[in-house]
Amino acid sequence: MTHYEIICAFAKLGDKIKSWLHNKNSCAELNDAVNRAIAENEWFTVENIKRMLAAIALQMLDAQKLQQWTSQYECSEKPPKRVGIIAAGNIPLVFFHDFICVIFSKNIAVIKFSSKDKILPECVIGMLVEIEPQLKNFIEITEKKSFDADAVIATGNDNTLKFFQEKFENIPHIFRKNRTSFAIIKGDESREQIELLGEDMFSFFGLGCRNVSKLFVPCDYDFSKIIGAMEKFSHIKNHEPYRNAYIYNRALLAINGKSFIDNNFWLLTENFENFSPVSVVFYEKYSNLVSVKKTFFNEYQHIQCIVNCDVDFGKSQQPQLTDYADGTDVMHFLLKQI
């Protein structure tokens, strides 16, 4: 297949997803998959699935953006390699960028989906193959934890990293583990900007590595600016698993004698750790931005992105094709290292 044919296929998939976003009756198979995915995973909601599909369709399935992206790489004609993709399941369709990279590098994607997010990916891949049947030769879905591959891209957490190393250490690989995202508050942000920050904090209930889990604020920062602006997201407390997490973490902070601000649906507490639990956002005070940048340098292996630094407010969960997870250029890996 030519790159033009692949671009056309993915762009048509984008058009189909956009049509569904405007009218759910336009694609019965996707509508059914969304309903089944929600039934299977208590953390999936229609709102969050639509959010992810919109980001994919707009940022990754636009023909012009795909052309500009692929033009940056020199693709030599060589026999396709089998590239394993071990997908995470913390948020819907989180595997998709790796999948695009493998297909556009003209390799074979051998995909092991998470049990938490299997229905939607299989549906979207089915839609793509229906648009362009030739792509079926470049896609293989497996249930096996260990499989034959020439390279692997594995996404998980600190606990699964050991398994990845045991099974795939001897082939070219990209192993990803726990990461999170921060935001820098300078104190002069508008209410609109702070509300956009809420998207970075609360979309997908904060479960993604691109969700902001920690704020860096000036020493004299007035937290009422954040507390008032975040009220527009209070509806997430209606989601039972999130509400349970909020109640549990509030009790835990109180029992441990930790000082915190209770915002009725989320908790704000000073903490020098990087990873906050669901419904909790950490903050750390700074006296100058130089000290903050030093912290970022020391913690780079834990950081996915920094809002109000390398990502605009509200954009953390809308990555571009060039926004590679962990900063590792997957296309370069696929074209030059395997």
pLDDT in tens, 125-143: 999 999 999 999 999 999 9
**pLDDT surpassing 80 at residue 158:** no
Do 244 and 115 have their domain in common? no
pLDDT in tens, 246-257: 999 999 999 999
pLDDT for 37 equals 98
Mean pLDDT of 12-28: 95
97 within a domain of the structure (yes/no): yes
314 within a domain of the structure (yes/no): no
Q: What band does 157 get if pLDDT is binned at 50, 70 and 90? A: confident
Q: Could you list the residue range(s) of the whole structural domain that residue 91 is in? A: 3-177
324 within a domain of the structure (yes/no): no
Out of 24-28, 198-202, 263-267, least confident range: 24-28
Out of 38-47, 205-214, 284-293, least confident range: 284-293
Do 302 and 171 have their domain in common? no
336 within a domain of the structure (yes/no): no
Do 140 and 259 have their domain in common? no
Quick check: helix, strand or coil at residue 113? coil
Say how many residues make up the chain.
338
Mean pLDDT of 96-107: 97
Q: Is 183 within 8 Å of 306 (Cβ atoms)?
A: yes
338 within a domain of the structure (yes/no): no
pLDDT for 21 equals 97
pLDDT in tens, 256-306: 999 999 999 999 999 999 999 999 999 999 999 999 989 999 999 999 999
- β-sheet bridge partners, residue 267: 262, 280
Out of 104-118, 161-175, 315-329, least confident range: 161-175
The residue out of 114, 149, 177 marking a domain boundary is: 177
Query: Between β-strands 303-307 and 261-262, what pairing exists: parallel, antiparallel or unpaired?
Result: unpaired
319 within a domain of the structure (yes/no): no
Of all residues in the chain, what percent carry a pLDDT higher than 90?
89
Alpha helices in the chain (DSSP H): 3-22, 28-40, 46-59, 63-70, 96-104, 119-131, 158-168, 191-202, 224-229, 240-255, 289-298, 330-336
Do 48 and 170 have their domain in common? yes
pLDDT for 275 equals 96
Q: Residue 259 maps to which CATH number? A: 3.40.309.10
Do 231 and 167 have their domain in common? no
Do 39 and 167 have their domain in common? yes
Do 166 and 202 have their domain in common? no
Q: Residue 69 maps to which CATH number? A: 3.40.605.10
Do 146 and 13 have their domain in common? yes
The residue out of 120, 149, 177 marking a domain boundary is: 177
Token match 């296309």: residue? 331
Do 22 and 153 have their domain in common? yes
User: What is the number of domains present in the chain?
Assistant: 2
**pLDDT surpassing 80 at residue 186:** yes
Out of 2-11, 69-78, 314-323, least confident range: 69-78
Mean pLDDT of 208-215: 98
Do 193 and 160 have their domain in common? no
What pTM did the predictor assign? 0.94
pLDDT for 238 equals 97
Out of 197-206, 209-218, 268-277, 296-305, least confident range: 296-305
Do 19 and 144 have their domain in common? yes
Q: Is 97 within 8 Å of 72 (Cβ atoms)?
A: no
Read off the DSSP letter of residue 146: S
Do 110 and 231 have their domain in common? no
